[in-house]
C-alpha cells in the first residue's frame, strides 16, 4: 500500500513536471470562472478589475480552444489561467489570509525577548513596517465605491508588495535573533568546556609526584625526590 502511494506520488510529480495538462487547466479555468461572482461580492470596489481580468482571460481561453496540438493547447489554456489569477487577483484572493499571517508573525516577534538593544530597535522597526502594511491592506480591503481597473491594479500591487516586504522583514529579524541566541549558546558551551579542561589540567598539575625509585611522594613542581634526590619526571 505504501509502495503504491509512493508510486502515485512519483507519477503525479512526473506529470506535473511535464507541464500543463488540458484536464488540469480546464479544472483551474472552471474554478476561476466560478470564483468571479464570489470575489465581486466580497470585494465590490474591485468589480471592474475582476471583470476586466476575466474578459481578457476569456479571449486567451477562446483562442486555446482552436488549437489542435494538445501540448500547445494546454500551454495556451495555462496562459489564460495565469492571466486571470496571477498578479492583482492573487493579491486580492490572499489579502485576508496574508493580513492574518502578518499579524500572527508580528505577535510572535513581539513575544520574543530581544537579546540586546540592537535587536530591540530591529524588532520595533519590523513591527512598525508590519503595522503600516496591515493598515494599507485593511484600507484596500474595505475601500468604498468603485475603483477603476487601473487604480485597483495599482492599489493591489502596492499592498501586495508591502505585505510581502513586511513579512520578509519580520522573518529575517526572527531568524537573526534565533541565530544570535544559538551562537551565544555555542560560545557559552565552548567556554564551559574550556574551563572544565583547565580545571582537569590544574588538578593533574597539583598532584604530588611519586618517585619511581623509593616511592616517596614529593610536592607538585618538585624536580628532585625529597627523600632520595633522584630526578623526578616533569609533566
Catalog residues that contact Zn ion under the rule CB under 5 A: 211, 213-214, 216, 225, 227-228, 230
In 3-state terms the chain splits into helix, strand, coil percentages (rounded to 5) of 75, 5, 20
**Which of 112, 140, 143 shows the shortest CA–CA distance to 126?**
112
Q: Give dist(CA 76, CA 9) in Å, integer.
A: 26
Identify whether the C-beta of residue 70 lies closer than 8 Å to the C-beta of residue 170.
no
Which residue's CB is nearer to Zn ion, number 96 or number 224? 224
For the CB of residue 226, give the shortest distance to Zn ion in the complex, in Å: 8
For the CB of residue 230, give the shortest distance to Zn ion in the complex, in Å: 5
Of all helices (H) and strands (E), which one includes residue 210?
strand 209-210
For the CB of residue 182, give the shortest distance to Zn ion in the complex, in Å: 54
**Residue 83 neighbours by CB under 8 Å, 6+ apart:** 53, 56, 57, 60
Which residue's CB is nearer to Zn ion, number 7 or number 213? 213
Which residue's CB is nearer to Zn ion, number 112 or number 216? 216
For the CB of residue 205, give the shortest distance to Zn ion in the complex, in Å: 20
For the CB of residue 206, give the shortest distance to Zn ion in the complex, in Å: 20
Which residue's CB is nearer to Zn ion, number 55 or number 215? 215
For the CB of residue 216, give the shortest distance to Zn ion in the complex, in Å: 5
**How many CA atoms within 13 Å lie on the side-chain side of 212?**
5
Identify whether the C-beta of residue 170 lies closer than 8 Å to the C-beta of residue 106.
yes
The residue written with cell numbers 611519586 in the block is 210
**Residue 13 neighbours by CB under 8 Å, 6+ apart:** none
Which residue's CB is nearer to Zn ion, number 112 or number 222? 222
Which residue's CB is nearer to Zn ion, number 10 or number 230? 230
Amino acid at each position: 500500500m505504501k509502495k503504491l502511494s509512493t508510486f502515485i506520488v512519483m507519477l503525479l510529480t512526473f506529470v506535473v513536471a511535464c507541464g500543463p495538462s488540458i484536464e488540469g487547466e480546464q479544472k483551474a479555468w472552471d474554478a476561476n470562472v466560478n470564483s468571479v461572482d464570489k470575489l465581486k461580492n466580497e470585494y465590490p470596489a474591485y468589480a471592474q478589475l475582476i471583470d476586466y481580468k476575466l474578459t481578457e482571460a476569456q479571449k486567451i481561453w477562446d483562442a486555446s480552444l482552436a488549437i489542435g496540438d494538445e501540448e500547445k493547447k494546454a500551454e495556451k489554456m495555462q496562459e489564460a489561467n495565469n492571466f486571470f489569477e496571477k498578479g492583482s487577483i492573487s493579491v486580492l484572493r490572499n489579502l485576508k489570509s496574508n493580513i492574518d499571517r502578518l499579524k500572527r508573525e508580528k505577535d510572535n516577534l513581539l513575544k520574543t525577548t530581544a537579546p540586546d538593544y540592537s535587536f530591540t530597535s530591529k524588532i520595533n522597526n519590523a513591527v512598525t513596517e508590519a503595522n503600516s502594511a496591515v493598515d494599507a491592506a485593511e484600507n484596500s480591503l474595505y475601500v468604498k465605491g468603485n475603483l477603476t481597473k487601473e487604480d485597483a491594479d495599482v492599489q493591489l500591487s502596492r499592498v501586495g508588495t508591502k505585505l510581502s516586504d513586511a513579512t520578509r522583514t519580520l522573518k529575517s529579524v526572527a531568524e537573526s535573533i534565533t541565530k544570535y541566541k544559538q551562537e551565544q549558546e555555542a560560545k557559552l558551551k565552548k567556554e564551559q568546556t574550556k574551563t572544565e579542561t583547565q580545571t582537569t589540567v590544574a588538578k593533574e598539575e597539583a598532584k604530588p609526584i611519586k618517585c619511581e625509585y623509593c616511592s616517596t611522594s614529593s610536592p607538585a613542581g618538585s624536580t628532585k625526590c625529597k627523600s632520595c634526590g633522584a630526578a623526578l619526571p616533569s609533566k
